[in-house]
Amino acid sequence: MNWLEYMDEDTFFHRLSPVTKIIWFVLISVLIAVVRDLPAVTVLFLFMAAVWVRAGLIDRMKMLGRNLFPIMGFAFVMWIVIGALHVDAPDTVPIYQDRIFCLEYADISRAVSTVFRIFLMVSVFYTLIITTNFSEIIYGLRKLHVPYPAAFGAGLVFQVIPNIIREFRTVVDAQRSRGLEVDRGPVMKRARRYCLVLVPLFIRILGTAQNITMSMFIYRLHLGSSRSSLKEIRTKRDDLLFLGISILVFAGAGYLSLIH
């Protein structure tokens, strides 16, 4: 199973209108970027966990978490170190203190909140692309009165990003088969080894872009012409219910962020 591919399944999240999913995606993405307090971020994470359970996406999210673990671990350590280098308030009781470091509970809270936010930022986008295909994204954007060229470009981005990640993994595996271990050794050595991955990756991305351009030319795709849809998607009761619950959760998370 390729964990980056669209899941053609019959879950409640698949059945939602693409308009509903796009509105939900924009709202929660903005909120994740703004909200930083741990209680508010925890509310968003628990809400998303409930969505994943209901949509049968838990296994996919566990796989995503394993892939993001090095990034989240690095972010956690960095925020702990940065927070321990200064004292938030003179009257706080530190967990650990010496001449240089002063570790407080607020530092741990910020580090955990950052880890949650990183995972949420990626997982929300991931939830959308594995439950909404290319044509549905374009259709949903058109329903929101986005011009077709912009809607087509956005839908194409949602389709191409997983392909780029897949190409990256292919190049890394090819280099590893030649004896180049990109994930071992000191940080500077690993950075130099990744440079050897970027060149063939860039060439493969250019090849993908050329194939897409050629396909658009062969099929005589004219972005300025009006286009019809094979399937008419309507907003149903489940869409309104999901959006209503989402807005209530988002409002609660925003309120928690304000009072802290």
Q: Per residue in 190-222, pLDDT tens? A: 666 667 777 777 777 777 777 766 766 666 666
Report yes or no on 225 lying in a domain.
yes
Burial of 213 (0-12, 13-18, 19+ CB in 10 A): exposed
Question: What is the domain extent for residue 177?
Answer: 133-229
| pTM of structure | 0.75
Could you give the C-alpha distances from 230 to 162, 206, 233, 253, in angstroms and in order?
25, 31, 10, 39
Q: Per residue in 53-98, pLDDT tens? A: 988 889 889 888 887 888 888 888 888 777 766 655 555 556 666 6
Q: How many domains does the chain have?
A: 1
Rounded to 10 degrees, the C-alpha dihedral 200/205/1/173 comes to 10
In the chain, the amino acid numbered 102 is: C
Q: How many CB atoms lie within 10 A of CB 53?
A: 11
Residue 52 near residue 127, CB atoms below 8 Å: yes
